[in-house]
Structure 1
Amino acid sequence: MAQRDDLLAKAPITLNVDRPALGNKVLRNTYMLLSMTLLFSALTAGIAMATHAPPLHWLITLGGYFGLLFVVTRLRDSAWGLAAVFALTGFLGYTLGPLLNLYLKLPNGPELVMTALAGTGAIFLALSAYAVVSRKDFSFMGAFLMVGILVAFLASIGAVLFNLPTLALAVSAMVILLMSGMILWQTSEIIHGGETNYIMATVSLYITLFNLFVNLLQILGIMSGDD
C-alpha cells in the first residue's frame, strides 16, 4: 500500500482543460479586437486620404511593418500588446490611404474599391464560417502556407525592382489563394487550441485581410484596364 501511495504521489497531475470552450473564448476576443483594429485602420486611411499623404517608399513600409510586428510579438502577453496592435494596424491603414486615393481618381475607381472591399468581406466570412461550423483541422496547411508566403514575398520584391507587371499580376493571384488558406488555417488554430493568444490571432487575421484586399484591388484594376 505504501508503494502504491508513492507511485500516486509521483504521478503527473493532468489538468482537465476544456479546449473547445477556450477556443471559443479566444475566437470571440479575436473577432472583437479585429473589428476595432479594422475601424481604427479605416480611420487612419481616411486621414491619409484627406491630407493627400504621398505614398511611403516601400522600404519604409517594410521597415515600419516588420518593426511594429516585432514589437507586437514581444508585448503579446501584456496590456501594452494592445497598444502595439493598434500602432501596427493604424500604420498599415495609413499606408493604404494613398493607394485608395490613386484608385478613386480612376473613372470606375469607387466601383473597384467597393468590389474589392465586398470581395474581401465575402471571402473572410465564408471561409471563417466554414472553419467554425465544420470544425475541421487545417493545421496541415501551415508549412505549405509559410513557404508560399515567402515565395510570394520574394517574387513581389522582384516584380517591383524589375518592373514586371505580369509577375506582379501572378503574385497577386497567388497571394489571394494563400490568404484564403490563411483564413482557414488561423481560424482552425484558434478553435482547436493551437493559438491561444488573441493578440497574435488578431494580427494574423488583420494582415491576411489587408493583403487580400490590396491584391484583389490590384487584380480588379488590371482586369478593368485601369492599372
Structure 2
Amino acid sequence: MIESSNPYASPYTVAAQPVDARSAFIRKTYAHLGGAIAVFALLEYFFLQSQAMLNLVAPMMGNWWLVLIVFMGVSWIASKWATSSTSLGMQYAGLALYVVAEAIIFIPILYLAVGMTGSTVVIGQAGIITVALFLGITAVAFITKKDFSFLNSFLMIGGFIALGLIFASMIFGFNLGIIFSAAMAIFASVAILRDTSNIIHHYGTNQYVAASLGLFASVALLFWYVLQILLSLSGRD
C-alpha cells in the first residue's frame, strides 16, 4: 500500500501515486493545456480572417442570453465527454468541442478589440497578463501544496451570482462595468487555483484530458475579463 502525506488522497487519485506517476500526469495535463491554447489561438486567427465566420457570429452580439445558454449546454456536454472513464477518444472529443465553442464565443470580443484599438496589440497584452497571472497562481498551488477544494462552494455561489448579474444586465440593458470585470478576473484566478489544486490532489492518473479542460476553461475566463478590463481602460483615453 502506497502511503501519502496528503490526507485527502484516495488510493485512486494522483496524489496517492509514486512520484514518477504524479510527474507524468502533471506533464500530460499541461501538455494538453498548451495544445488546447495553441489550437484556440489558431482557430481565432483563422476565424477573424473569415468574413463568412464573422457574418455567422454577428447575430451573437444582440442575443448574448441565448449564446450563454447554448454555451453552458455545450460546456456540460464537453465536460461529460472529457471525464469519460471508458473512452479516451470521447475525452479528446470533449476537449475539442469545448475549445471550438470557446473560440466561437470569443470572436465578437476579439473583433471588437481590433475595431476599438485598430490593432491586435491589446489582445496580445491581455494574453501576456493572463499568462503571468496563471504562472503566479500555479506557482502558489505547487509551492504550498495545499488542497483548495474548499473553494468549490465559493466558486459555485459566485458563479450563480455572476450569471444572474449577466442575465439581468442583458434583460434590463445596464452595463456591468470595469468593477464587475475585475471581480470576475479574481473569480477566474480563484478557479485556476482550485483547478491546479485538484490536479495535485484529486484527479485520477487517467484524467489528464479532463484536468486540462478544467484549467483551459478557467484560463479562458481569465483572459476574457482581462481583455474586458483593458478595453474599458482604453475606452477612457
Q: Same fold (TM over 0.5)?
A: yes
Mapped to 1, the partners of 2:96 and 2:227 lie a distance apart of 24
Pick one of 196, 199, 202 that aligns with 1:190.
Answer: 199
**Could you say which structure has the larger radius of gyration?**
1
Q: Give the CA RMSD over aligned residues.
A: 2.4
Pairs within 5 Å for 1:51-90 = 51-52=50-51, 53=54, 54-55=57-58, 56=60, 57-75=63-81, 76-77=83-84, 78=87, 79-90=89-100
Pick one of 109, 112, 130 that aligns with 2:140.
Answer: 130
Q: Name the structure 2 match of 1:26.
A: 25
CA contact (8 A) 1:72 1:84 kept: yes
Aligned pair count reads 212
1:195 counterpart letter in structure 2: Y
TM-score under structure 1 length normalisation? 0.82
Question: What is the CA distance between 1:108 and its match in structure 2?
Answer: 5.9
Residues 106, 73 of structure 1: alpha-carbon distance in 2 compared, 3 angstrom cutoff: closer
2:203 partner SS = coil
Residues 169, 162 of structure 1: alpha-carbon distance in 2 compared, 3 angstrom cutoff: farther
Question: What is the CA distance between 1:122 and its match in structure 2?
Answer: 0.4
Does 2:36 correspond to 1:37? Answer: yes
Residues 19, 174 of structure 1: alpha-carbon distance in 2 compared, 3 angstrom cutoff: farther
Q: Name the structure 1 match of 2:47.
A: 48
1:85 partner SS = helix
Q: Please identify, of 38-47 and 175-184, the stretch whose mean Cα deviation from structure 2 is larger.
A: 38-47
2:42 counterpart letter in structure 1: L
CA contact (8 A) 1:152 1:174 kept: no
Mapped to 1, the partners of 2:11 and 2:121 lie a distance apart of 54
Mapped to 1, the partners of 2:225 and 2:34 lie a distance apart of 21
Residues 61, 226 of structure 1: alpha-carbon distance in 2 compared, 3 angstrom cutoff: farther
Residues 154, 21 of structure 1: alpha-carbon distance in 2 compared, 3 angstrom cutoff: farther
Mapped to 1, the partners of 2:120 and 2:20 lie a distance apart of 42
1:71 counterpart letter in structure 2: I
1:201-220: per-residue Cα shift (whole Å, max 9, x none)? 22211111111111111111
Residues 175, 107 of structure 1: alpha-carbon distance in 2 compared, 3 angstrom cutoff: closer
1:147-166: per-residue Cα shift (whole Å, max 9, x none)? 1122112111212222222x
Q: Please identify, of 138-147 and 65-74, the stretch whose mean Cα deviation from structure 2 is larger.
A: 65-74
Mapped to 2, the partners of 1:123 and 1:117 lie a distance apart of 10
Mapped to 2, the partners of 1:20 and 1:140 lie a distance apart of 25
Q: Please identify, of 70-79 and 15-24, the stretch whose mean Cα deviation from structure 2 is larger.
A: 15-24
Residues 20, 226 of structure 1: alpha-carbon distance in 2 compared, 3 angstrom cutoff: farther
Question: What is the CA distance between 1:119 and its match in structure 2?
Answer: 0.7
Pairs within 5 Å for 1:148-159 = 148-159=158-169
CA contact (8 A) 1:31 1:202 kept: yes
CA contact (8 A) 1:172 1:215 kept: yes
Q: Name the structure 2 match of 1:141.
A: 151
TM-score under structure 2 length normalisation? 0.79
Mapped to 2, the partners of 1:124 and 1:33 lie a distance apart of 16
Mapped to 2, the partners of 1:88 and 1:15 lie a distance apart of 30
Mapped to 2, the partners of 1:15 and 1:201 lie a distance apart of 18
Task: Give percent identity, aligned residues only.
Answer: 26
1:118 counterpart letter in structure 2: I
1:178 partner SS = helix
